[in-house]
Structure 1
Amino acid sequence: MPNYRVDFAKEILGVPFTVGSVEITRARDPERARRAAELRFARQHGVGDWRERADLALIAPRD
């Protein structure tokens, strides 16, 4: 199973600024990795929805 890194960013004047990232070590596909990372990011920041802290979730495969 591939590994993924999901970076969460806040957009300010159209420029993304990374506010956090989550490593997902095992996921069947990028969509599942993104969903797992969203839940983990929200828990880490003590919010109900990750969109309270970030505007974008960018997925990148890892080796």
Structure 2
Amino acid sequence: MPNYRVEFAKEILGVPFTIGSVAIMRARDPERARRAAEIRFARQHGLGDWRELADLATVAERL
């Protein structure tokens, strides 16, 4: 199974600023990796939902 890194960013005046990232070691597909990272990011920051702190979540496959 591939590894993924999901970056969370806040968009200000149309420019994304990365505020954090989460590494997902195993996921079947990018969508599952994104969902797992959203939950982990929210828990790490003590939030109910990741969108309270970020606007964007982008997934990149790691080798």
Q: What band does the TM-score fall into relative to the shorter chain?
A: over 0.9
Q: CA RMSD in A?
A: 0.2
TM-score by length of structure 1 reads: 0.99
Partners of 1:4 and 1:36 in 2: CA distance: 10
- Provide the C-alpha distance between the structure 2 equivalents of 1:44 and 1:36, rounded to a whole number of angstroms: 12
Instruction: Point out 4+ residue stretches in structure 1 off by more than 2 angstroms.
Output: none
SS at match of 1:18: strand
- Equivalent pairs counted in the alignment come to 63
Q: Which runs of 5+ in 2 are unaligned?
A: none
Q: Which amino acid aligns with 2:17?
A: F
What's the % identity of the aligned pairs?
83
Per-residue CA deviations over 1:4-60 (Å, capped at 9, x if unaligned) read 000000000000000000000000000000000000000000000000000000000
In the alignment, the residues of structure 2 paired with residue 44 and residue 53 of structure 1 have an alpha-carbon distance, to the nearest angstrom, of 12
Q: Structure 1 unaligned runs (5+)?
A: none
